[in-house]
Amino acid sequence: MSKKYRKRSRAKSGGIIGTIVLAILLIADLYSGGTVEQTGKKIVENFSGQDKVSNVINNASTSSASYGGLSKADYDKLAKLNFKSGGRAYITLNNDKSTLIKNAWKVNKVIYSNLDSLNRTSHSNTAFLEKRNVANDSLRVRQFVEPTAWHYNRRNGVQIYNRGHLIAYSVSAGIDQNGHYNPANQSGDQNNPKNLFTQSAFSNQKVQTIFESKVRKALRQNKRVIFQATPIFRGKELMARGINLQAISTDGSLDFNVYLFNVQPGYVFDYNNGRAKVDRQMRVNLN
């Protein structure tokens, strides 16, 4: 082989390798963090009731599935938010519009994410729901799972802690712990470690129920709904700072995207371990 030919061959192969490396880098950048960033659509959020902050958040859908939802970048932004006494119990995101893809509804099921390395439910659970998933409350049983940062209520009868469901019991009838629909199982989700987190009684009973009732209403109207819940943890803390709830019906009539702060009037939490102490100055505005 002549020197001239060898040089030409090396140049050609080098060009091919360079093209392959560039393609790999572009793909890695596109899917970094497990999300596909749609940089053309940006959301500017004004957090009412908190510090006057403007955040730019990119719409995103996950790379591992085609149903959309909360991106890693959005998760990290929410984890940095601090609740201030007197602030609203929840805020709307993306002008209260879900980033879920309504046409992704195919099969009645729930995708339960695995616990993380700290045994936290720190990833999204996503439910594809229909009318038959509205649960009979009389089938509830005693809860015994102790999620991270769990403490029993011993404050003179005042309830501070709840076992918060990501996908509500009331909209999960027939769903087994693998996320599949089983007509023999008419109860809603119960004692599933992948679907519970330590939540304040106020956030669970006064705030999250507002949005769960919207999902139930849509299901009773025979609509198909995608519902996603994502507890938001900061760093290695064992108690979530809040939870992102998103839902969309396939006809688009139901559509919301909110972040609920995991707070309790009259108390403050150490989110590292979930311990609460009395703080009469802590106020939470529901309106």
* Pair type for strands 225-232 and 125-129: antiparallel
Q: CA separation (Å) from 68 to 37, 44, 72, 102, 134?
A: 11, 19, 12, 9, 24
On whether the CB atoms of residues 267 and 279 are closer than 8 A, the answer is yes
- Say how far apart CA 208 and CA 201 lie, in whole Å: 10
Identify which of 119, 57, 115 has the alpha carbon closest to the alpha carbon of residue 257.
Answer: 57
- Establish whether 165 is a catalytic residue: yes
Q: How far apart are CA 239 and CA 145, in angstroms?
A: 15
Q: Of these residues, 123, 151, 165, 180, which one is catalytic?
A: 165
Output the six-digit token pair for 29.
Answer: 């950048």
Q: Which residues are catalytic?
A: 165
